[in-house]
Amino acid sequence: MGRAVLVIEEGAEAALVCAALARRPELHVVGAPDVAGALERIEEGSDIDLVFSDVVMPDIDGLEFAERLNELRPGLPVIFCTGYSSAVEALTDCGAMALMKPYSAEVLERVVTERLQLARDAHRPRS
């Protein structure tokens, strides 16, 4: 089935992200209606390979969400999109990646591919 990308569907941008990623046959896009739904999926042990979310959400901020994800699944790649440059450093410090808005579908696809490859390399046994 490929690599599973969990997209938090709270923002209008999520539909565009889902559409861009769904064009890639090696990716399986999974939606969560909100942060609580995403955390529940991760807690249940869903086989998620990457999380994509907006930084600004109604019930939690991106930094707190990234910290919660890191507690549940250390090393899980997380990409946040943001229009706030001040959020980039804090998210990077916590292990997430921040993608500045606006971005193209090509940039999104490249960043997702890179983050999945980095995670795969990190989990590959060393010889």
For 17-51, what is each residue's pLDDT tens digit? 877 887 888 888 888 888 999 999 999 988 899 99
Asked whether 9 and 16 are in contact (CB, 8 A), the reply is no
- Residue 126 in any domain: the answer is no
- Residue 10 in any domain: the answer is yes
Peptide bond into 102 cis (omega under 30): yes
Quick one: DSSP state of residue 98? E
pLDDT above 60 for 1: no
What CATH number does residue 84 fall under?
3.40.50.2300
Instruction: For residue range 82-103, list pLDDT tens digits in order.
Output: 887 776 777 777 777 888 888 8
- Residue 111 in any domain: the answer is yes
Give me the chain's average pLDDT, please: 83
Cα distances (Å, whole numbers) of residue 17 to 9, 33, 81, 119: 10, 14, 10, 20
Which residues form the domain of 23?
3-120
Strands 3-8 and 27-32: parallel
Number of domains present in the structure of the chain: 1
- Residue 125 in any domain: the answer is no
- Residue 44 in any domain: the answer is yes
